[in-house]
Chain A
Amino acid sequence: MTIAEILVPLCGTPADTGVLDTAFVLAAPSGAHVTALFAIEDAREVVSAQDLRESIPARSARHAGARGQARQGFADAAKKAGATVDALVEKHAKLSADILEMPGDLAEAMARAALFADLIVFPHDVARGPARTAFIRVLTESEKPVLLAGRDPPAGAPRAIAVGWDGSLPAARALTAALPFLATAKSVDLLTIGEPAGIAAVEAVDYLALHGVTASLRPLPPAPAGPALLAAARGADLLVLGAYGHNRLMERVFGGATAHVLSHADQLILLAH
């Protein structure tokens, strides 16, 4: 499927810039539309629901500041990318974007909007940022590729891609979700983790060959999977990984290896649950 619609969350924090820049770089080749979503909170509701110490007017003022920051960050990033700011819905070859301000909870709004997006990009430090809940929600509920921005925005579409392969269903889902990127990559490495189980790595290589993608198999040493993956993927612009577990808590959503990679990797990471 072509990537026609990319969704990003805005939080009114400096992390917005990284996620927007990444989305625009990835949107450019297909002339996709970038939708930046900002959730407008009801200060009264948030303060009482979360039992915050902050007063309602103070929370309200802080949120208004964040909203202003989000708008400014969006306008700057769109200008820098040369994107037309317009909610124009028709398909067109030119980069376009719009900011969507929706009342309510960010996680809720992102989960709904993700149903109509082809790719969702979250900030690099999402695990420590305000979009954390939205990230987990979208990752566990949506079938769409979820991308974590790298430490720096990419120079272009990923050229070297590393896929962590352990034969599991999440690994297969991540692989199929990454197809739009794999199809245009210059090199694809399938890094096999641990004892062969589930779906054999050669099946994945054969599947990719049917998609016109030539992948090389690279078995990882039997070291702790996280550091081994990171070391093997050092030259890759994009790392593709299946995420594990069923618990809603971040600590339990990811197994040790995934958690390690998420907190130490510098490059783009594509995840599927």
Chain B
Amino acid sequence: MPIAKILVPVAGAEGDAAAIATAIAAARVFASHIVLFAIHEDPALAVPLVGVPLPPDAIASIIDGQTRHGNDAAARARNAMRQVCGREDVRIVPIAARGAATTCSFRQCWGNVAVGIGNAAALSDLVVLSPLCWDSAFNEAFLDVLRDVRRPVLVAREAAREPRRIAIGWDGSAAAAHAVSAAMPFLERAEAVTILTIACRGEVCEPVTDLAVYLKRHGVAFTHRETATGDAQAGEALFQAAQEANADLLVVGAYGHDNLREALFGGATQTLAGRAGMPVLLAH
């Protein structure tokens, strides 16, 4: 079982349900275990450092407030878990265990959010994040997981389908090759795989020969589709081509396509909304 453990950092926010549902869709391919991970900033760190020592009552009240804040978020995330797992018929188990079907467990802890998520991701096979959960700590964690921990991240705004039809956004970069390697367990079991290349400003894109050989040696059949576009719209064109290929999942290098990061995470909410239903698997 190449993907045995999927980590979903949850924030008690709007995106939790979508991230959990997306993780379940991916987990079904391998009967993986899903760990929902709620981590909150250490309450003691919320106490402001000022010149004069704060009265003990004030410190206690700040710590109490922060603790309640964290516990409330975890309670909301647990609620989302119960709802989604109930709907999807996924069993919730107290501790992670290998089983014949997909299971889900919940873990709450306190500490540095980015470090905690990074360490948990280091011993996970896939990390699922919803952009709707993102605050600055989640964003930092996302970049850490990709760059330092080097684990693949599946980003989905809405509940995704089982990844059976997969599109690869190929630009010949090392990041794109890493993303393909990370996606190989899914690619090996896919019904259809399409390599998408974007020819910018009329230039011919990276050759796909190396990638083609790599996929064939893994027994992955594929088709190749090239789209021509202006430079500025490379990221947009890629999403459109993936949608036209009716893909359940788009596999891309995190920093390959220049505009991809912008297209994925750029502030414009409507840009993300335009790609509802297109989950993206990223690697650095």
Q: Do A and B bind each other?
A: yes
Binding site for B on A (CB under 8 A): 1-2, 4-5, 32-33, 89-91, 112, 115-116, 118, 141, 143-144, 169, 172-173, 175-176, 179, 198-199, 203-204, 206-207, 209-212
> Residue B174 at the A interface, CB < 8 A?
yes
* Docked complex Cα distance between A115 and B181 (Å): 8
A169 touches B148 (CB 8 A): yes
A115 touches B216 (CB 8 A): no
Q: A4-B218, A173-B122, A175-B123 are in contact. Are A115 and B96 (CB under 8 A)?
A: no
20 A-B residue pairs with CB within 8 Å: A1-B188, A4-B217, A5-B217, A33-B217, A89-B213, A91-B218, A91-B219, A112-B210, A115-B177, A116-B210, A143-B150, A144-B181, A169-B149, A173-B150, A199-B119, A203-B123, A204-B123, A207-B5, A210-B96, A210-B97
A143 touches B181 (CB 8 A): yes
Interface residues of B in 192-244 (CB under 8 A from A): 210-214, 216-219
Nearest-neighbour CB distance to chain B for A32, whole angstroms, equals 8
Q: A1-B185, A141-B174, A199-B122 are in contact. Are A211 and B4 (CB under 8 A)?
A: yes
In the complex, which range does the number of interface residues on chain B fall in? 20 to 34
Q: A143-B178, A210-B96 are in contact. Are A2 and B123 (CB under 8 A)?
A: no
Nearest-neighbour CB distance to chain A for B203, whole angstroms, equals 20
B98 touches A209 (CB 8 A): yes
Q: Which of A90, A141, A199 contacts B216 (CB 8 A)?
A: A90
Binding site for A on B (CB under 8 A): 1-2, 4-5, 33, 96-98, 118-119, 122-125, 148-150, 174, 177-178, 181, 184-185, 188, 210-214, 216-219, 283
A91 touches B185 (CB 8 A): no
Identify which of B119, B123, B150, B174 gathers the most chain A CB atoms within 10 Å of its CB.
Answer: B123
Which residues of A are found within 8 Å of B185, using beta-carbon distances?
A: 1
Q: Which of A2, A4, A116, A203 contacts B177 (CB 8 A)?
A: A116
Nearest-neighbour CB distance to chain A for B9, whole angstroms, equals 16
Q: Which of A115, A172, A209 contacts B122 (CB 8 A)?
A: A172
Nearest-neighbour CB distance to chain B for A93, whole angstroms, equals 10
Which residues of B are found within 8 Å of A199, using beta-carbon distances?
A: 119, 122-123
A207 touches B123 (CB 8 A): yes
B214 touches A116 (CB 8 A): yes
* Docked complex Cα distance between A1 and B150 (Å): 16
Which residues of A are found within 8 Å of B181, using beta-carbon distances?
A: 1, 115, 118, 143-144
Nearest-neighbour CB distance to chain B for A198, whole angstroms, equals 7
* Docked complex Cα distance between A169 and B119 (Å): 8
* Docked complex Cα distance between A91 and B211 (Å): 14
Considering only CB atoms, which chain B residue lies closest to A87 in the complex?
B213
* Docked complex Cα distance between A5 and B149 (Å): 24
Which 7 A-B residue pairs are closest in the complex by CB-CB distance? A91-B219, A115-B177, A172-B122, A116-B214, A207-B123, A210-B4, A89-B216
Nearest-neighbour CB distance to chain A for B206, whole angstroms, equals 12
Nearest-neighbour CB distance to chain A for B138, whole angstroms, equals 19
Identify which of B1, B148, B210, B217 gathers the most chain A CB atoms within 10 Å of its CB.
Answer: B217
Considering only CB atoms, which chain B residue lies closest to A33 in the complex?
B217
Identify which of A5, A112, A116, A212 gathers the most chain B CB atoms within 10 Å of its CB.
Answer: A116
A1 touches B214 (CB 8 A): no
Q: Which of B33, B149, B211 contacts A116 (CB 8 A)?
A: B211
B188 touches A2 (CB 8 A): yes
A210 touches B122 (CB 8 A): no
Nearest-neighbour CB distance to chain B for A102, whole angstroms, equals 12
4 additional A-B pairs beyond A176-B123, A199-B119, beta carbons within 8 Å, are: A2-B2, A115-B210, A116-B210, A209-B97
* Docked complex Cα distance between A159 and B17 (Å): 42
* Docked complex Cα distance between A198 and B211 (Å): 36
Nearest-neighbour CB distance to chain B for A204, whole angstroms, equals 6
Nearest-neighbour CB distance to chain B for A169, whole angstroms, equals 6
Nearest-neighbour CB distance to chain B for A71, whole angstroms, equals 21
* Docked complex Cα distance between A203 and B214 (Å): 33
Which residues of B are found within 8 Å of A176, using beta-carbon distances?
A: 122-123, 125
Nearest-neighbour CB distance to chain B for A203, whole angstroms, equals 6
Which residues of A are found within 8 Å of B149, using beta-carbon distances?
A: 169, 172
